[in-house]
Amino acid sequence: MKRVLITGAAGFLGSHLCDRFLKEGFHVIGMDNFLTGSADNIEHLFPNKNFEFYHHDVTKFVHVPGDLDYILHFASPASPIDYLQMPIQTLKVGSLGPYNLLGLARVKNARFVIASTSEIYGDPNVHPQPESYWGNVNPIGPRGVYDEAKRFQEAITMAYHTFHGVNTGIVRIFNTYGPRMRLDDGRALPAFMSQALRGEDITVFGDGSQTRSFCYVDDLVDGIFKLTMSDYHDPVNIGNPQEITIKEFAEEIVELIETNSKVVYQPLPKDDPKQRRPDISRAKEVLGWEPKVQRSEGLKITLEYFKEKVNPKVGV
């Protein structure tokens, strides 16, 4: 049985990756320090004999006994609220984390895949964003701790590949949504859904003309799995190229939830990207991957999850 280590296993994406690899017949070793993850996301996995868990901070030395075939580094604060409140931790998990894990991958002869991000493109001057675009990032701005941590991750990962011959992969993740997102993580979808479900006005930053491209989590996980199983080393964008303005997205949520919430506007945060859409030509060509879940379908599934979180059923 192949063995995979997934860091950030108790997070939104990490927990879904644990599900997928278990479904595919892997022995999964989850690792998390619960800085932003939640045990609730992996509680259902503990009875599974092919799942084990380490409560550990990857910025410290990482040791896992036995063979490892794959290591997926998905540990990191991943929302604007998180990295504004935890800038040092964000930088450390994006620098010391991959350093420790790449050393482990080298010793174990494991394929190493990192979760990079569309944020490495910053506020892009090229649209849509191909992997060949180097980005427009403010390294000392409020978002710089996350953007630069991810850019460093890519650099050290490629250095270990070229210098030490480590088998590596880099996935650049675009806006993703689905069950297990945190209500308070500050990103558009959980903010809009939780506000609408509570009957509050929906807060849009700026004039709402900025765009995002939302990918359902199952599609994203499928792309990550395909990349992990490949031997491709250069960065690959994984996201849904269906672009929508934030104002239109807020209106979609209002219509879906059938609320009387109004859309209200607040100033746009510094360095907030104006456009975001992936060029997924490489993912199609190299991995044979493209998203399948329509936004209308994914939002309905996600809404059911958020309904339970906002208004949990009280046991009798």
Which residues are identified as catalytic?
Answer: 146
Tokens 């998180």 -> residue: 82
Give buried/exposed letters for 34-59 (b at 16+ CB in 10 A, else e): ebbbeeebbeebeeeeebbbbebbbb
Q: What does the DSSP assignment read for the chain? A: --EEEEETTTSHHHHHHHHHHHHTT-EEEEEE--SS--GGGTGGGTT-TTEEEEE--TTS-----S--SEEEE--S--SHHHHHH-HHHHHHHHHHHHHHHHHHHHHHT-EEEEEEEGGGGBS-SSSSB-TT---B--TTSTTHHHHHHHHHHHHHHHHHHHHH---EEEEEE--EE-TT--TTS--HHHHHHHHHHTTPPEEEETTS--EEE-EEHHHHHHHHHHHHHS---SEEEES---EEEHHHHHHHHHHHHT--PPEEEEPPPTT--S---B--HHIIIII-----S-HHHHHHHHHHHHHHHHSPPPP-
Residue 235: exposure state from Cβ atoms within 10 A (0-12, 13-18, ≥19):
buried
Burial (0-12, 13-18, 19+ Cβ within 10 Å), 103:
middle
